[in-house]
C-alpha cells in the first residue's frame, strides 16, 4: 500500500520504501529529474553555448587548428610537469621553486603568511588522502576499474537513448560539482601516445583494442608491461569545466592563488571519480581523466565549451580562462554537443595584454605557429604556443610562479570581479567575505572595441 502523506510504500515484507511520487517507483522519478522530463528545466547543450553572441560552428578542434597530416599523438613524458622526473634541468627548476617558496614563507612576505600557508596546505590535503595526481592515470580517483561494490548479478545495462543519456550525465555531473558539461566523440589524435610513470620514470604506450594484438581487450586495461589499452567502444567523452575561485586567483602570484588551483584539483578528483562510478553502475565502462590519458583543451573545444586563447588556455564564455578541465571517456552512448565560436580567438589576434604582462615572456606575441618552443609541446597543430620552459625557468629563478598571470591578465578573465590589485597585497582579504563561484547572470567577459560577440558592454579599462 502507499502512504500518500509521506510518499512511502510498505512492501509485503513490512519494510517502508520511498517512492518518487505517489504510487510511482523511485527510478521513474529519478529518471525524470536527471533527464529533464519534469518541472526541472532540461539540461540540453552547454552553458557556454547559452551565452549571448555565441554561435555554433561545424568545425572540430582538429579542423580549426589545422592539424597536419604528419601530426603524431603527444607523449605525456614531454609535458612540462613530467620533465622534472627525468630531465636534470627541469628537476633543478622544481627544487629551486620549492626552496624559494620556503624562503618567502619564512620571511612572511605578503601572500606567504601563515594564513596563506594554511590555505594552500588545506586545499591540497584531500588530494594526498585520495592519492590523486592531476597527471596520473589509473590511480586513485582516476582508476580505470570500479572502486565501489560490484553491481548485483542479474541487473542488466541501462538502455537509455543517446539524447537521454546526455541529459542524465550533464545533470549528474553538475550535482557532483561541474560548472559546465559538454559531450563529444573521442578524437584519438588527442589521446596521449604514451603515459608517464612517476615511479619508474618511463613512458608506456596507450593502445586501442582495434590495433593488432589487442583485439581481445573489452574493458579499460593496464597490462603487465604497463601498456594501457582503451577498448574501441569507448568513443564518447563527457568534458567538464570546474571554475576556480576568482578572488583567490586575483591574488596571483601567491600561495593563495596556488591554493585556488588545488581547490579545483580536489573538486576534479571527486567529480571524475563520481561520474565514472555512476556510468559503471549503469553497466558501462568509464575512464576518469584529469590532465592524464588525453589532452583536455581540444576535447573541450570539440564539446562546445570554448575556444583556445593566446595564453594557450581554454577561454570559456562565462569563466574565461579561470577554470580547469577534466573528462570521462566512456562507451555509454551519448548525443554530442556542437563546437562553438565565442569570439575569443578573434579577440586574441589583436590583444596582447597577457603577452605584454607575462614576466617570463612565455606567452607569444606573434601569430599562431605549428612549432612549439622549449621542447614541451607537440608539433603539427596551429595554435599560440606557450613557452613552458621559459615559464618554469623564471619561476625557478624567482618564486612566485608566473602561471597565475596566464589567467589573471587576460581581459576575458572577468573584469566584473572588480579592480585588480597588485599581486601579493592582502592576498587573503577575500576570506573575510568569501563566496562560492557561481555562474553570473552575465558572462565574466568584456571586449575592448565596438564589436560585442558576447553581448557585453565595453570596459573602458581595457581600451588601452
Mean pLDDT check: name the lowest of 275-279, 361-365, 428-432. Answer: 428-432
First to last CA, the chain: 72
Q: pLDDT (tens digit, 9 = 90+) per residue, 36-58?
A: 543 333 355 899 998 888 999 98
Give long-range contacts, CB 8 A cutoff, 24+ apart: 11-20: none
Strands 323-330 and 286-289, sheet pairing: antiparallel
99: confidence class by pLDDT, cuts 50, 70, 90: confident
For residue 253, whether the previous peptide bond is cis, meaning omega lies within 30 degrees of 0, is: yes
Q: pLDDT (tens digit, 9 = 90+) per residue, 445-458?
A: 333 333 333 333 32
What does pTM read for this prediction? 0.83
pLDDT of the residue at 376: 77
422: CB partners within 8 A, 6+ apart: none
Query: Is 62 a residue whose pLDDT tops 70?
Result: yes
Query: Is 436 a residue whose pLDDT tops 80?
Result: no
387: CB partners within 8 A, 6+ apart: 360, 361, 362, 363, 364, 373, 374, 376
Query: Is 167 a residue whose pLDDT tops 60?
Result: yes
101: confidence class by pLDDT, cuts 50, 70, 90: confident
Position with higher pLDDT, 361 vs 217: 217
Q: Taking the mean position of all CA atoms in its chain, how far away is CA 214?
A: 30
pLDDT of the residue at 402: 53
149: CB partners within 8 A, 6+ apart: none
Q: What percentage of the chain has pLDDT greater than the value 90?
A: 50
Q: pLDDT (tens digit, 9 = 90+) per residue, 229-261?
A: 999 999 999 999 999 988 888 787 788 888 999
Q: Which of 35, 9, 10, 36 is nearest to 20 (CA)?
A: 9
pLDDT of the residue at 204: 98
Taking the C-alpha atoms of residue 68 and residue 192, their distance in angstroms, rounded to an integer, is: 17
Mean pLDDT computed over 273-278: 97
292: confidence class by pLDDT, cuts 50, 70, 90: very high
Burial of 433 (0-12, 13-18, 19+ CB in 10 A): exposed
Q: pLDDT (tens digit, 9 = 90+) per residue, 305-328?
A: 999 999 999 999 998 898 999 999
Taking the C-alpha atoms of residue 327 and residue 266, their distance in angstroms, rounded to an integer, is: 14
* C-alpha grid cell, residue 412: 576575458
Q: pLDDT (tens digit, 9 = 90+) per residue, 116-150?
A: 999 999 999 999 888 898 999 999 999 999 998 88
Query: Is 430 a residue whose pLDDT tops 50?
Result: no
Query: Is 175 a residue whose pLDDT tops 90?
Result: yes
Position with higher pLDDT, 406 vs 111: 111
Domain boundaries, the chain: 43-462
411: confidence class by pLDDT, cuts 50, 70, 90: low
User: Mean pLDDT in the chain?
Assistant: 80
Amino acid at each position: 500500500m502507499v502512504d500518500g502523506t509521506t510518499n512511502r510504500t510498505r512492501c509485503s515484507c513490512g519494510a517502508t520504501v520511498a517512492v518518487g511520487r505517489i504510487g510511482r517507483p523511485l527510478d521513474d522519478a529519478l529518471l525524470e529529474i536527471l533527464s529533464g522530463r519534469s518541472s526541472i528545466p532540461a539540461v540540453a547543450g552547454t552553458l557556454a553555448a547559452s551565452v549571448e553572441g555565441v554561435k555554433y560552428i561545424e568545425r572540430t578542434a582538429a579542423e580549426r587548428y589545422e592539424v597536419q597530416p604528419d601530426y603524431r599523438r603527444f607523449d605525456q613524458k614531454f609535458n612540462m610537469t613530467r620533465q622534472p622526473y627525468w630531465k636534470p634541468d627541469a628537476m633543478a627548476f622544481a627544487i629551486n621553486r620549492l626552496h624559494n617558496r620556503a624562503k618567502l614563507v619564512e620571511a612572511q612576505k605578503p601572500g606567504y603568511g601563515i594564513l596563506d600557508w594554511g590555505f594552500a596546505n588545506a586545499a591540497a590535503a584531500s588530494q594526498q588522502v585520495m592519492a590523486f595526481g592531476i597527471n596520473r592515470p589509473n590511480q586513485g580517483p582516476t582508476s580505470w576499474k570500479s572502486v565501489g561494490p560490484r553491481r548485483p548479478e542479474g541487473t542488466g545495462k541501462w538502455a537509455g537513448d543517446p539524447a537521454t543519456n546526455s541529459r542524465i550525465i550533464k545533470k549528474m555531473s553538475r550535482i557532483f560539482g561541474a560548472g559546465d558539461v559538454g559531450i563529444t566523440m573521442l578524437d584519438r589524435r588527442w589521446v596521449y601516445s604514451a603515459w608517464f610513470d612517476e615511479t619508474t620514470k618511463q613512458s608506456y604506450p596507450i593502445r586501442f583494442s582495434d590495433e593488432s594484438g589487442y583485439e581481445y581487450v573489452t574493458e579499460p586495461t593496464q597490462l603487465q608491461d604497463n601498456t594501457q589499452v582503451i577498448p574501441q567502444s569507448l568513443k564518447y567523452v563527457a568534458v567538464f569545466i570546474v571554475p576556480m575561485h576568482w578572488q583567490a586567483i586575483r591574488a596571483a602570484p601567491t600561495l593563495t592563488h596556488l591554493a585556488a588551483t588545488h581547490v579545483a584539483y580536489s573538486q576534479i578528483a571527486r567529480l571524475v571519480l563520481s561520474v565514472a562510478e555512476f556510468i559503471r553502475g549503469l553497466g558501462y565502462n568509464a575512464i576518469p581523466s584529469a590532465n592524464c590519458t588525453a589532452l583536455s583543451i581540444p576535447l573541450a573545444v570539440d564539446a562546445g565549451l570554448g575556444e583556445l586563447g593566446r595564453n594557450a588556455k581554454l577561454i570559456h564564455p562565462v569563466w574565461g580562462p579561470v577554470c580547469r578541465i577534466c573528462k570521462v571517456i566512456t562507451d555509454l552512448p551519448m548525443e554530442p554537443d556542437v563546437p562553438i565560436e565565442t569570439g575569443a580567438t578573434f579577440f586574441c589576434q589583436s590583444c596582447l595584454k597577457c603577452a605584454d604582462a607575462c614576466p617570463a615572456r612565455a606567452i607569444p606575441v606573434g601569430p599562431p605557429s605549428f612549432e612549439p618552443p622549449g621542447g614541451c609541446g607537440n608539433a603539427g597543430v596551429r595554435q599560440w604556443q606557450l613557452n613552458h620552459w621559459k615559464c618554469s625557468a623564471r619561476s625557478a629563478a624567482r618564486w612566485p610562479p608566473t602561471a597565475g598571470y596566464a589567467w589573471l591578465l587576460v581581459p576575458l578573465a572577468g573584469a566584473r570581479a572588480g579592480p585588480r590589485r597588485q599581486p601579493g597585497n592582502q592576498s587573503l582579504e577575500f576570506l573575510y567575505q568569501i563566496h562560492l563561484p557561481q555562474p553570473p547572470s552575465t558572462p565574466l567577459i568584456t571586449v575592448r572595441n565596438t564589436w560585442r560577440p558576447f553581448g557585453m558592454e565595453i570596459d573602458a579599462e581595457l581600451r588601452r
